[in-house]
């Protein structure tokens, strides 16, 4: 399903995080970036991992790495949080789900109000009871 602008904003703000891997640590790490210890494994190319929850902070670190001609790679992945499946379900739009739930709720409410109004009408009750008596025999 096509994502709305609101869905994309929700995903960027609360779901996505940027992983930046470098060969050597930068001199300055901007505030808002988490440094993750990477185990020293032979054959692993990148030795340092930085995690940015905001794309703006990630861009600051990337521009700093470019200025210093450092080699890096980036990955944008989903956060590992409990709320991620609710905000960003796979191949679904939260906006359309909320819109559908709202329409269904309003429809059920007005249908129940209509039925309740019929149940309060004495003439309808009388006709309904007569119809039941005819059906029973």
Residues 132 and 83 in one domain: no
Domain span at 117: 94-136
Give dist(CA 111, CA 58) in Å, integer: 51
pTM equals 0.71
Give dist(CA 61, CA 30) in Å, integer: 6
The pLDDT tens digits for 87-124 are: 888 888 888 889 999 999 999 999 999 999 998 999 99
Residues 28 and 63 in one domain: yes
The number of distinct structural domains making up the chain is: 2
Residues 24 and 79 in one domain: yes
Residues 9 and 57 in one domain: yes
Residues 36 and 72 in one domain: yes
Residues 15 and 71 in one domain: yes
Residues 13 and 56 in one domain: yes
Backbone angles phi, psi at 25, to 5 degrees: -70, 145
Bridge pairing between strands 33-36 and 16-22: unpaired
pLDDT at 42: 83
The CA distances from residue 85 to 6, 20, 55, 71, 101, in Å, are 16, 24, 20, 34, 17
The pLDDT tens digits for 43-102 are: 888 999 999 999 999 999 999 999 999 999 999 999 999 999 988 888 888 888 899 999
Give dist(CA 73, CA 87) in Å, integer: 27
Residues 98 and 77 in one domain: no
Residues 46 and 9 in one domain: yes
């Amino acid at each position: 399903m096509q994502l709305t602008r609101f869905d994309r904003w929700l995903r960027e703000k609360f779901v996505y995080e940027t992983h930046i891997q470098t060969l050597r640590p930068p001199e300055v790490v901007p505030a808002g970036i988490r440094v993750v210890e990477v185990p020293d494994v032979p054959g692993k190319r990148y030795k340092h991992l930085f995690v940015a929850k905001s794309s703006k902070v990630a861009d600051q670190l990337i521009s700093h790495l470019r200025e210093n001609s450092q080699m890096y790679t980036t990955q944008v992945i989903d956060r590992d949080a409990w709320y991620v499946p609710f905000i960003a379900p796979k191949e679904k739009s939260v906006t359309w789900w909320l819109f559908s739930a709202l329409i269904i709720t309003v429809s059920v409410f007005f249908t129940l109000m209509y039925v309740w109004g019929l149940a309060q009408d004495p003439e309808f009750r009388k006709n309904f009871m007569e119809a039941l008596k005819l059906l029973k025999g």
